[in-house]
Chain A
């Protein structure tokens, strides 16, 4: 018997736990799921409810905005049937007044608009500072029922140029808004103006998801090659086997919210122009209330995702996720029926600039370190 086999047998009589042994941990996780999309002050209410002994089980408020970004973002995939569109001819930005472009035309114009944007060139030690707005549906239990409202905040990120250094994400929560057809519950106000800082450590910032800009630095800005790349990275793993169009759309929308270099962003929209099943949304709005024209795809899980562009300049404004069917939300308490047609998440890109410094994180900042 070799050493490894001996180690394998060492204390192999330790059994797997019964359900009881895990019930507390499982309940803690469910509370975190419940708490995720609502203000941190709700956690103190939970603390009261579950007792201080459980305090450590309760997480700080999850970085929902980031989650959102990744949800819009953890997608880098590619689609199938579009090569033809990729060879579209020259594009004129700004259609004739009164014409409504189709999705391909609209995305081609967005591609041309992106290509005309100035390039950001941060030097090592500098930071790319982005400002965006996010809105999302918040659920909370109040006694016997589950209530919901629209929460959100202004999010700033400082991303270190060169991929090393501190990455700071700061969210300042905005005033809540009522969900259509629902009164605004008092709980919704508890975290207005609250600032949440998250600091990602160097190890973490070295990994791709927070630094798409860095990661995408080497990606081809040629639409045909970019499309191949997007299809290749989504060919295995969770997206494997999905239709090319879905894979491509996910990846495009994931990247679109990031501050890509103009040529790459342009190529991205050109790829999007060739995705089957993308439709035009004539009138929509981003999280900042800026009205625009959108392109959308129905996703498989009862959600429609949209990219929104300025109606005149075709500049990218933001994204929006809308429910397309009724869905019952169950988060460890009374269920909540989420209607169809609800905006689940929306995002608005407000500004991006190069700065020399990152602000000092708040004393209570969350520090994130997970395996690279």
Chain B
């Protein structure tokens, strides 16, 4: 049997959508539909389940209000959106710290539906607790770089664009973050 594949019509790139939204604001909802789920998940990982929708709300409203400032040369809006989300999350640093602390104590992330991985639960915890402890100790800027890279899956260049910093700074922050994590893991495993 042959599956019939109907190619999806080519979707407008983000810049085109944003440009259209300048005269037809409702078009911005399409950008929301593209990226809000991922931004939500990113926020929940960092802040816990209660914060997800608020972060998404604030991020997309800020993006919408500033869309006239979007650099239309950039076809992919993710770095821009994650940059705004990073600012929004940054204002809730206390929640983030509380979440990581609670995890270090309890070993439970309140939004995780399962282990998510095939590793044995105990093994996972043995690694994840020190990881959470390391995240706690990172400087805010280093943590942003690390998590945009690891969780939002932005490239170095995209992370740089998101945070408005040079790519070299992304590399050095990432190196520093990794070093701290390595130290934390070695301490725990001894």
B68 with A59: CB separation less than 8 A: no
B64 with A59: CB separation less than 8 A: yes
Which B residues are CB-close (under 8 A) to A182? none
B44 with A6: CB separation less than 8 A: no
B78 to chain A, nearest CB (A): 13
Contact of A17 among B21, B26, B41, B162 (CB under 8 A): B41
Residues 45-78 of chain A: 1 if any B CB is under 8 Å from the residue's CB, otherwise 0? 0000000000001011011001111110111000
B117 to chain A, nearest CB (A): 6
B170 at the interface (CB under 8 A from A): no
A238 at the interface (CB under 8 A from B): yes
Residues 1-45 of chain A: 1 if any B CB is under 8 Å from the residue's CB, otherwise 0? 011101111111111110001101110111011101100000000
Residues 104-120 of chain B: 1 if any A CB is under 8 Å from the residue's CB, otherwise 0? 00000101111111000
Residues 38-78 of chain B: 1 if any A CB is under 8 Å from the residue's CB, otherwise 0? 10110011000000110011001110111111111111000
B112 with A74: CB separation less than 8 A: no
A13 to chain B, nearest CB (A): 3
Contact flag A238-B15 (CB < 8 Å), given A21-B53, A70-B68: yes
A301 to B17, CA, bound (A): 12
B51 to chain A, nearest CB (A): 12
B73 with A238: CB separation less than 8 A: yes
A3 to chain B, nearest CB (A): 4
B113 to chain A, nearest CB (A): 6
A370 to chain B, nearest CB (A): 5
B22 with A237: CB separation less than 8 A: no
Residues 287-301 of chain A: 1 if any B CB is under 8 Å from the residue's CB, otherwise 0? 000000000000001
Which B residues are CB-close (under 8 A) to A21? 40, 52-53
Contact flag A14-B53 (CB < 8 Å), given A69-B68, A238-B19: no
A371 with B164: CB separation less than 8 A: yes
Interface of B with A (CB < 8 Å)? 13-16, 18-26, 28-29, 32-33, 36-38, 40-41, 44-45, 52-53, 56-57, 60-62, 64-75, 80, 83-84, 86-87, 109, 111-117, 127-128, 131-132, 146-147, 149-151, 162-164, 174, 178, 181-182, 185
Q: A14-B116, A21-B53 are in contact. List 7 more A-B contacts (CB 8 A).
A: A17-B53, A26-B32, A29-B64, A71-B22, A75-B72, A237-B71, A330-B26
A-B contact list, 16 entries, CB within 8 Å:
A3-B178, A4-B149, A6-B127, A9-B116, A11-B112, A14-B112, A14-B113, A14-B116, A24-B53, A25-B56, A26-B29, A73-B68, A237-B75, A238-B72, A240-B75, A371-B80
